Amino acid sequence: MKTQLLYEWTKKIHMYSGLLTFTAFVVWGVTGIHAVFLAPPGEYKPPPVSSVREIPYKAAGGLDDQQLAKAIFETVAIPLAGGRYNVHRDEQSNLAFNVFTINGGREVTFLEEAGIVRVAHRANSLWSYLSSMHTAHSRRHRLTASVIAWGYFNELATWAFLFMTISGLYMWIATRPGLRWAQLSLGGMGVLTLALWIAIR
Amino acid sequence: MFQLMRNIHLGLGLIFVLMALVFAISSLVIIYRPLLNTTPQDTETAVRLSPDDAASPRVAARVLMTAHGFKGDLRQIQEQGDTVRFRIVRPGEAAEVEYARSTGEARIKKKRQGALETLVHLHTNHGLWHEYAPSNLWASISLLASAGLLLLGATGIYLWFAHHSERVIGGILLGSGLVFGLVTLYLTRLQQ
């Protein structure tokens, strides 16, 4: 009786967890397929520039490049900016740096003589966007309400996924443990996965 | 039809159960990393390469792989005068090699991660372009697991819908999750 009750409730929660977090699983599945076709290190080609905006800016005279990059970064207020990197001087000796965002990188260049900051946006594909979003959780990408909300949802889905993996195994053992093809599926892939783990370690 | 879907759901779940655990546990490691002690183990060794082996970074890397137990992809070769640097990388371990071409003296700094961080490396291991075969095999299984996840979702939806008594609660949960997820994704995408 107790076992039956445990099984019934496990099945219910397994089903409810999957239904509630179904959107996140679709995002993960799509991201996992997309990841296989990403370029190897060193061969990444950024997407083309999709838009450029120019902002009048006058630099304070006493700032070094890092301090000025920080001041420009704060002024241009790029939506969902995840931080600046690669602060450098370009071929024309203009101060330049990159900004990562979930919706595609920005290349920021300060044309000091003209008093203009140029922000070039390389909008990413929907697949790259979903790939960035699949990494969000309660401590990462805490930028705006929508991405924070997604991060909590994504994290909940991670726990749900772990629960469904374990509860699914339990439900198989509780109902149809004798199925030969099921045993072979688990055993065959289990051996392959463990062998790979041993090889890599 | 119900029985077929039930069997597909079970079969996919069992085939990918270990991969699912790898992805789930590694995701939790990423989220809760500040609370976990995942410091890698660093070691440093010295090796003398023969003049023939030291002549080319690829030959030197092969010697280190075959005779000294280093395994992985050869990456980031840098040559500056007499000094040659490269990395041999695989999930869970990275060796930074620096040697002088003239003397063949090589210094190798090895960073070996624990099991939890290795799971994270496996999670992010992608692409079929690796020189290290196990990484390619792992990426292939990850691809199948990702497709399997989508199929598990689709068959799961079918199985739920076949349970007439669960349609209302399930419909509310599915609808809530879809609306919440899609709206947050859409609003975030608008913030260009």
In sequence order, the β-bridge partners of residue A95 are A89, A110
Give Cα separations from B133 to A2, A40, A43 (angstroms).
Answer: 48, 15, 20
Judged against a pLDDT cut of 90, whether residue A86 lies above it is answered with yes
Instruction: Give the residue among B51, B24, B25 at the shortest CA–CA distance from B38.
Output: B25
Judged against a pLDDT cut of 80, whether residue A1 lies above it is answered with no
* Residue A140, Cβ density class (10 Å: 0-12 exposed, 13-18 middle, ≥19 buried): middle
Q: HEC states along chain B? A: CHHHHHHHHHHHHHHCHHHHHHHHHHHHHHHCHHHCCCCCEEEEEEEECCHHHHCCHHHHHHHHHHHHCCCCEEEEEEEECCEEEEEEEECCEEEEEEEECCCCEEEEEEEECCHHHHHHHHHHCCCCCCCCHHHHHHHHHHHHHHHHHHHHHHHHHHHHHHCHHHHHHHHHHHHHHHHHHHHHHHHHHHCC
Token pair for residue B101? 């071409």
Q: What pLDDT does B150 receive? A: 97
Q: What pLDDT does B111 receive? A: 96
Confidence of residue B37 (pLDDT cuts 50, 70, 90): confident
Q: Region A116-124: what's the mean pLDDT?
A: 96
Main-chain phi, psi angles of A120, to 5 degrees:
-100, 125
Q: Which chain A residue has the Cα nearest residue B117? A: A201
Judged against a pLDDT cut of 90, whether residue A143 lies above it is answered with no
* HSE-CB for A81 with a 13 A CA cutoff: 20
Q: What pLDDT does A60 receive? A: 86
Judged against a pLDDT cut of 90, whether residue A188 lies above it is answered with yes
DSSP secondary structure, A158-198, as one string: HHHHHHHHHHHHHHHHHH-TT-HHHHHHHHHHHHHHHHHHH
d(CA A1, CA A76): 65
Q: Which chain B residue has the Cα nearest residue A181? A: B11
Domains of chain B: 2-35+121-190 (no CATH), 41-112 (3.30.160.690)
d(CA A129, CA A31): 9
Q: What pLDDT does A59 receive? A: 87
- pLDDT tens track for B77-100: 999 989 999 999 999 999 999 999
d(CA B54, CA A23): 53
Q: Check CB contact under 8 Å for B127 and A168.
A: no
Q: Check CB contact under 8 Å for B181 and A23.
A: yes
* Nearest chain B Cα distance for residue A88, angstroms: 21
Q: Check CB contact under 8 Å for B153 and A38.
A: no
Is ipTM over 0.85?
Answer: yes
Judged against a pLDDT cut of 90, whether residue A201 lies above it is answered with no
Q: What pLDDT does B151 receive? A: 97
In sequence order, the β-bridge partners of residue B41 are B112
Q: Region B166-183: what's the mean pLDDT?
A: 96
Q: Which chain A residue has the Cα nearest residue B12? A: A185
Q: Check CB contact under 8 Å for A182 and B14.
A: yes
Confidence of residue A3 (pLDDT cuts 50, 70, 90): confident
Q: What pLDDT does A116 receive? A: 95
CB of B101 closer than 8 Å to CB of B80? no
Q: What pLDDT does B38 receive? A: 85
Q: What pLDDT does A82 receive? A: 86
Range with the lowest mean pLDDT among A53-57, B8-12, B50-54, B152-156? B50-54
Contact residues on chain B for A188, CB-CB shorter than 8 A: 15
Average pLDDT over chain A, rounded to an integer: 93
Give Cα separations from A179 to A25, B34, B114, B142 (angstroms).
Answer: 27, 43, 36, 25
Token pair for residue A108? 């920021």
Q: Check CB contact under 8 Å for A138 and B23.
A: no
- pLDDT tens track for B104-140: 999 999 999 999 999 999 999 989 999 999 999 999 9
- pLDDT tens track for A32-79: 999 998 888 888 888 999 999 999 999 888 889 999 999 999 999 999
CA B106 to mean position of chain CA atoms: 29
Give Cα separations from B77 to A40, A42, B98, B135, B173 (angstroms).
Answer: 15, 11, 10, 20, 52
* Nearest chain A Cα distance for residue B59, angstroms: 21
Q: Check CB contact under 8 Å for A146 and B191.
A: yes
